[in-house]
């Protein structure tokens, strides 16, 4: 049904006289920004103390489109890094699109498809074009994506900390109305943590995210996780190992949610066909952009597999993109796009992206992603700014 709705929206767009002429990308700007995090954030493979992010600005048709890359400094989430991502955008992707015209964002995805991997770099460029394209039409991003939801439910992801501190964090976020609490775990910091949290919060929607730290040798621990009434266990095993996830899912009662393992539509198809997991975390940056994110969404809809929108501690730019994507029908579980103020003292966008009672408003200031940039602040946190011309 949603495909029909989306086709309808696309047809409306195609009949828009503004878009009879393909949109020319006149120039591109590539920045690297560095924002301190209010608190260090620890996952099983890394601790982050600042968010270093590439920012892409595309200009054309009298408008500007924005997006943000989600690679880390080190290859501790997936192999792509800030360095490889920046190089790919600067030397390959942006020169391939500047001075050219595109009728729709899918053409950008098609142009990038022959180049292997580098989903995070591709995503930043493709997402900036979605924003630009929506703005030229005077539409919000959710409208061109074909969204139908207006209520965006969110949870929080809590980094690894001492158990007593985590208990305080859980209490605070439950009180604030967040709809689900996700605990980062690592080998040796798992069952005791769950004992403590469940003792105080027996009924909350609770999940864990292992960021790949376990193997099948940890089966006893993973099996014990079945006793805590978790909504799901996120990415327990290696990022490049669907095979062992199939084995694990056949043993566990708790559903597995895949994050790192799903980087392409084919990854998702194979995971669902083989029952490697029963939910999918959709991260638009990990999947190479909104085009593939929507294809993964549609496949999950066809399989009746719930999806939710993950996060990479994005600034307001990436956060706004995530929120618009969450309006698609199958985003039926709370996502990770929590208040920006949980991570940053000052964001790069003017509009405050804050939740109230676990709901995130859809930014709607103007068109596209519906936020405006605080350029002075952005300049003050930029370590490099490059312009790519035709």
In this chain, which stretch among 65-73, 115-123, 227-235, 353-361 interacts with Mg ion, using CB under 5 A? 227-235
In this chain, which stretch among 78-86, 203-211, 285-293, 328-336 interacts with Mg ion, using CB under 5 A? 203-211
Q: How far apart are CA 265 and CA 271, in angstroms?
A: 10
Maximum distance among all alpha carbons in the chain? 62
Q: Pick one of ligand OSB, Mg ion, none as the site partner of residue 105 (Cβ within 5 to 8 A by kind).
A: none
Cβ-based nearer residue to ligand OSB, 85 or 338: 338
The edge-to-edge listing of strands for the beta sheet with 27-43 is 63-68, 46-60, 27-43, 382-389
The least distance separating ligand OSB from the CB of residue 260, rounded to whole angstroms, comes to: 7
How far is CA 228 from each of CA 248, 275, 308, rounded to the nearest angstrom? Answer: 17, 22, 21
Task: Tell which positions 304-333 bind ligand OSB, by CB under 6 A.
Answer: 310-313
Number of residues that bind ligand OSB (CB under 6 A): 12
| Among 126, 329, 336, 351, interactor with ligand OSB by CB under 6 A | 336
Task: Tell which positions 89-108 bind ligand OSB, by CB under 6 A.
Answer: none
237 binds ligand OSB per the rule CB under 6 A: no
261 binds ligand OSB per the rule CB under 6 A: no
Task: Tell which positions 181-210 bind ligand OSB, by CB under 6 A.
Answer: 209
Task: For residue 100, indicate whether it is catalytic.
Answer: no
355 binds ligand OSB per the rule CB under 6 A: no
77 binds ligand OSB per the rule CB under 6 A: yes
Instruction: Report residue 255 CA to chain centroid gap.
Output: 20
List the one residue out of 32, 33, 25, 9 whose CA is nearest residue 128.
25
| Among 291, 338, 339, 355, interactor with ligand OSB by CB under 6 A | 338
Q: How far apart are CA 259 and CA 257, in angstroms?
A: 7
Q: Which residue is nearest to ligand OSB (CB)?
A: 311
Task: Give the SS3 label for residue 49.
Answer: strand
Sign for the CA dihedral angle at 85, 87, 92, 96 comes to positive
The edge-to-edge listing of strands for the beta sheet with 206-209 is 156-158, 181-184, 206-209, 233-234, 256-258, 279-282, 307-309
Asked whether the beta carbons of 69 and 124 are under 8 A apart, the reply is: yes
Site string for ligand OSB, 29-48 (x = CB under 6 A): --------------x-----
Task: For residue 184, indicate whether it is catalytic.
Answer: yes
Which spans of this chain sit near Mg ion (rule: CB under 5 A)? 209, 234, 259
């Amino acid at each position: 049904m949603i495909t029909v709705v989306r086709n309808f929206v696309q047809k409306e767009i195609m009949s828009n006289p503004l878009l009879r002429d393909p949109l020319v990308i006149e120039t591109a700007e590539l920045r690297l920004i560095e924002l301190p995090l209010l608190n260090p954030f620890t996952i099983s493979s890394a601790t982050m103390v600042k968010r270093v992010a590439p920012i892409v600005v595309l200009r054309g048709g009298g408008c500007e489109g924005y997006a943000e890359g989600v690679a880390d400094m080190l290859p501790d989430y997936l192999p792509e890094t800030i360095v490889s991502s920046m190089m790919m955008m600067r030397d390959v992707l942006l020169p391939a699109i500047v001075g050219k015209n595109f009728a729709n964002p899918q053409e950008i995805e098609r142009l990038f498809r022959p180049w292997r991997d580098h989903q995070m770099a591709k995503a930043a460029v493709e997402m900036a074009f979605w924003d630009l394209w929506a703005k030229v039409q005077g539409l919000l991003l959710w409208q061109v994506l074909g969204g139908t939801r207006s209520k965006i439910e969110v949870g929080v992801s809590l980094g690894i900390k001492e158990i007593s501190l985590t208990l305080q964090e859980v209490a605070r976020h439950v009180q604030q109305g967040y709809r689900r609490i996700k605990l980062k775990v690592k080998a040796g910091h798992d069952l005791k943590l769950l004992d403590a949290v469940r003792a105080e919060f027996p009924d909350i929607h609770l999940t864990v995210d292992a960021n790949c730290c376990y193997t099948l040798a940890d089966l006893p621990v993973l099996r014990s996780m079945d006793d805590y009434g978790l909504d799901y266990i996120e990415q327990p095993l290696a990022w490049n190992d669907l095979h062992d996830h199939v084995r694990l899912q056949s043993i566990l009662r708790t559903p597995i949610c895949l994050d790192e393992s799903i980087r392409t539509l084919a990854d998702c198809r194979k995971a669902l066909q083989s029952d490697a997991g029963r939910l999918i975390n959709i991260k638009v940056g990990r999947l190479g952009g909104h085009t593939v994110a929507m294809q993964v969404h549609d496949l999950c809809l066809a399989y009746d597999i719930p999806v939710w929108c993950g996060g990479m501690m994005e600034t307001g730019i990436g956060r706004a993109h995530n929120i618009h994507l969450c309006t698609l029908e199958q985003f039926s579980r709370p996502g990770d796009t929590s208040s920006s103020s949980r991570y940053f003292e000052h964001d790069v966008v003017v509009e405050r992206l804050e939740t109230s009672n676990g709901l995130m408003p859809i930014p709607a200031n103007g068109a596209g992603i519906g936020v405006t940039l605080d350029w002075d602040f952005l300049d003050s946190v930029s370590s490099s700014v490059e312009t790519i011309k035709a």
